Amino acid sequence: MPQATPAMNDDIASPFRFPAVDRKKVTAAFDGGRLTSDGGVLLLSQAERAMGICQRLATCIADPRDPARVIHRLDDILRARVFAIACGYEDADDLDALRDDPGFRLALGKLPGSGAGLASQPTMSRWENAPITRELAKMLAAMIDIYCASYPAPPAAVTLDIDDTCDVVHGYQQLSFWNGHHGERCFLPIHVYGTATGRPVAMLLRTGKTPSGVEAAGHIRRLVRHIRRQWPETHITIRGDGHYGRPEVMAVCEGCGVDYVFGLPTNAVLRADPEIVVAADACAVKRAQRQYPVLRTYAETRYGAKSWKCQRRVVARIEASTMGMDIRYVVTSLTEGSAEHIYDTLYCARGQAENLIKLHKTQLASDRTSCRSPNANQMRLILHTAAYWLLWRIQQEIPKAASLATAEFATLRLRLLKVAARVIESATRIRVAFASACPDASVLKAIATNLRPAPT
């Protein structure tokens, strides 16, 4: 039976005043009864049931507890944590305050006014630290399976963006490292997204130094191998910045039958290449003659560094301006498409991956990797990715004509999850009463209807 704290009975429940309105006193008290400020958590519950994320993750972790004495199933513990993250409660400490919230209790399949409360913060923290490395590897593989299962049928082609991001630490957690480029002690976790659809694929915690070619090649090899088990005929393109334009990475992609588009750092040989020099000179002359503030053109060549085993196609974006000349390079395995198409349409589209990382890191607080153990921090990254999936799924069910169809996660949380509701339990039913003036009532109702399981 949920228990109110003494502070709730003595202090918070006592009335207090607000300024009078039209000469009428305004008093308030926290005595409204069974209310939740997160009524939209029921949408998260429906999305999670449809995708089965927490059940998949729970099967990857050994549970040594005596089944006869278990109060909270492992998948329910994970659900509570993931729902809380999606609702903006990124710390496990918040679960102590939410364990008797009627909205969260309903989302976990519990009656709002009877039975044991949800799992507490110590329970959450124990399970965050419980998985061993082998189990975390299984969970990462499960997340890739969830990505593949999110498609009704194997797609003909997908483009996967791979990038690392600075996750600043405030201590000396294991795997943290001083990074001179960012000027911080940090992790540099690798994020992989299907950027065209906003789907997360894999999130891997790693040390704070730039990945070497051998390390990046190993991660990509395992990723492609796992996807190929489910999508043997799907054409895969890997896209990344100059960190991943390494000979080891390109060799792995070519060996796996995967196309790639990677940024390529400049060097003296590329700057002296005849094709690029001629195009750059022509661009500079044309800009000066026509007095354009900036002029852009493109060129391509065949280039092979000493560390490469063969020559590869290199595309150059050449931009002349009043400030001088700027040339950027891209190396690709693609043989078709103009240089302009390769750079502007294909390579520059990877900028959307930065927005997806922002959703993951800042709007879902996945940079709260404050545990000392790297395994626990990797577990947190997985849980935050699960929360990402639930918000992504809710976003897919929003009517396309609605303004929220393209909203970021912070907006979805504010407008659809942080919605007050009264939970009324009778002998035969439970009724959730949302505010009559809810501004997004039609959207919330449409999502709940779309996520409703088919009758059996």
pLDDT tens-place string over residues 186-237: 999 999 999 999 999 999 999 999 999 999 999 999 999 999 999 999 999 9
Closest CA to 80 of 62, 101, 61: 101
- Grade residue 354 by pLDDT with cuts at 50, 70 and 90: very high
Residue with tokens 């996520």: 451
Which one-letter amino acid corresponds to residue 291?
Q
Residue 171's pLDDT band (cuts 50, 70, 90) = confident
Residue 372 has pLDDT above 80, yes or no: yes
Report the 10 Å Cβ neighbour count for 348.
13
Please check whether residue 88 is in contact with residue 413, taking contact to mean a CB–CB distance below 8 angstroms: yes
**Which residue has 């035969």 as its token pair?**
428
What pLDDT does residue 4 have? 47
| pLDDT for position 456 | 60
Asked if residue 396 has pLDDT above 50, the reply is yes
- The mean pLDDT of 365-378, rounded to a whole number, is 93
User: How far apart are the C-alpha atoms of 327 and 329, rounded to whole Å?
Assistant: 7
- pLDDT score of 1: 46
Whole-Å CA distances, 7 to 12, 37, 258, 355: 6, 19, 61, 42
pLDDT at 245 over 50: yes
What pLDDT is attached to residue 47?
96
In the sheet that 199-204 helps form, which strands lie side by side, from edge to edge? 199-204, 190-194, 157-164, 235-240, 259-264, 324-332, 312-321, 294-303
Helix segments in 159-316, DSSP class H: 213-230, 247-256, 268-271, 274-290
pLDDT at 9 over 90: no
312-321 and 294-303 strand pairing: antiparallel
- 142 pLDDT above the threshold of 50: yes
Nearest to 409 by CA among 370, 369, 361: 361
Q: What is the CATH number of domain 144-265+373-383?
A: 3.30.420
- Chain mean pLDDT for the chain: 92
Nearest residue to 38 via CA among 107, 90, 96: 107
Could you tell me if 12 and 5 are in contact, meaning their C-beta atoms sit under 8 angstroms apart?
A: no
DSSP string, 6-37: HHIIIIITS-EEEEEETTEEEEE-S---SEES
246 and 315 Cβ atoms separated by less than 8 Å:
no
Query: In this structure, what DSSP letter does residue 61 have?
Result: S
Alpha-carbon span 143 to 56, nearest angstrom: 9
CB neighbours of residue 444 within 10 Å = 23
Instruction: Give 7's pLDDT tier (boundaries 50, 70, 90).
Output: very low
393 contact partners, CB below 8 Å, separation of at least 6: 47, 50, 51, 451
Pick the closest to residue 200 from 91, 361, 349, 40 (CA basis).
361
268-281 pLDDT per residue, tens: 999 999 999 999 99
pLDDT at 20 over 90: no
Six-digit token string for 113: 């006014």
Residue 289 C-beta-side C-alpha neighbours within 13 Å: 6
pLDDT value of position 157 = 96
What pLDDT was estimated at residue 6? 43
Residue 127 is predicted with a pLDDT of 94
Q: Any idea where the domains of the chain sit in the sequence?
A: 28-130+397-420, 144-265+373-383, 268-349
C-alpha count within 13 angstroms, C-beta hemisphere, residue 154? 12
Token duo for residue 425: 């339990």
CB contact at 8 A, 148 and 155:
no
**Residue 289 reports pLDDT greater than 50:** yes
Percent of the chain with pLDDT over 90: 80
Q: How many residues does the chain have?
A: 456
Angstrom CA distances, 13 to 6, 82, 348, 420, stand at 10, 30, 56, 18
The tens digit of pLDDT for each residue in 440-455 reads: 999 999 999 999 887 7
Going by pLDDT thresholds of 50, 70 and 90, the confidence category of residue 17 is: confident
The answer to whether residue 2 scores a pLDDT higher than 60 is no
Q: Please report the pLDDT score of residue 62 as a whole number.
A: 95
Q: How many whole angstroms separate alpha carbon 98 and alpha carbon 120? A: 9
- The mean per-residue pLDDT over the stretch 130-138 comes to 96
Other Cβ atoms closer than 10 A to 145? 15
Task: Look at residue 117 and tell me whether its pLDDT is greater than 90.
Answer: no
> DSSP characters for 332-372?
ES--SS-HHIIIIIIIGGGHHHHHHHHIIIIIS-TT----S
Is 246 in contact with 308 (CB distance < 8 Å)?
Answer: no
Q: What is the pLDDT of residues 301-348, one digit of tens each?
A: 999 988 898 999 999 999 999 999 999 999 999 999 999 999 999 999
pLDDT at 113: 81
**In this structure, how many other beta carbons lie within 10 angstroms of the beta carbon of residue 203?**
23
